[in-house]
């Protein structure tokens, strides 16, 4: 008499594999620390319907089109080399030039792109704008740009916090990033 070979039941193996896969997908965390560190303004008060009027002279306009061409204050700018100095001069004007910003508190750097603008160009211009503010902060605190950035990275240290606060005291970072325009409009 021939003996039957015992079989291992495997009908539910696919179900078990699916449940394990689902378990690991749900319980696994993926660290995603990439992105821009931009402080967003608080949400507007829904009860307040005041329209804010801004004087044109308090707005420094930077535009980048879908070909990554730069337009600063209505004038084409081929090279970004002098852009940071222009921004610093605008912010620190304090009413000296009547055609420029009245004070650092009212100075706004407006940055607008097209939908076709490359990410590389967007980040390049945003870095220049933020770098201008960081240069002002470092100058105000009496330290190097790197010294101010190091202080900003160690805010738990009282000495670093004092340097950080001294730099930012009179110069709020007013950067307006406008919604991109559609290509061809």
Render pLDDT for 22-77 as a digit per residue (tens, 0 to 9).
998 889 887 776 666 676 667 777 777 666 677 788 889 999 988 989 999 989 98
Written as six digits, the tokens of 104 are 């650092």
Q: What is the pLDDT of residue 21?
A: 92
Residue 101 pLDDT more than 70? yes
Strands 108-113 vs 59-64: parallel, antiparallel or unpaired: parallel
Give 110-142 pLDDT, tens digit per residue.
999 988 889 999 999 999 998 899 888 888 888
State the Cα–Cα distance between residues 170 and 140, nearest whole angstrom: 9
Burial category of 110 from C-beta neighbours within 10 Å (exposed 0-12, middle 13-18, buried 19 and up): middle
Task: Give, as one character, the DSSP assignment of residue 5.
Answer: P
Q: Per-residue pLDDT averaged across 88-99, rounded?
A: 87
Give the predicted TM-score (pTM) of the model: 0.71
CA distance 158 to 54: 37
- Backbone φ, ψ for residue 173 (5° rounding): -80, 95
In 3D, which of 111, 119, 109 has the Cα closest to residue 66?
119
Handedness of CA 56, 61, 65, 67 (dihedral sign): positive
> What's the Cα-to-Cα distance from 142 to each of 135, 149, 173, rounded to whole Å?
10, 13, 18
Contact assessment for residue 60 and residue 110, using Cβ atoms and an 8 Å cutoff: yes
């Amino acid at each position: 008499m021939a003996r039957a070979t015992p079989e291992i039941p495997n009908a539910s193996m696919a179900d078990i594999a699916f449940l394990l896969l689902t378990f690991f997908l749900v319980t696994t965390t993926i660290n995603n620390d990439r992105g821009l560190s931009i402080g967003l303004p608080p949400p507007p008060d829904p009860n307040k319907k005041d329209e804010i009027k801004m004087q044109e002279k308090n707005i420094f306009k930077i535009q980048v089109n879908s070909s990554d061409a730069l337009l600063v204050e209505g004038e084409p700018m081929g090279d970004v080399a002098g852009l940071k100095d222009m921004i610093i001069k605008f912010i620190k004007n304090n009413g000296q030039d009547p055609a420029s910003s009245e004070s650092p508190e009212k100075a706004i750097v407006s940055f607008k792109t097209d939908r076709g603008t490359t990410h590389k160009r967007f980040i390049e211009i945003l870095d220049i704008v933020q770098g201008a503010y960081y240069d002002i902060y470092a100058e105000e605190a009496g330290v190097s740009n790197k010294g101010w950035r190091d202080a900003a990275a160690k805010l738990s240290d009282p000495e670093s916090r004092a340097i950080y606060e001294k730099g930012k005291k009179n110069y709020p970072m007013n950067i307006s990033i406008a919604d991109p325009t559609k290509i061809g409009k």
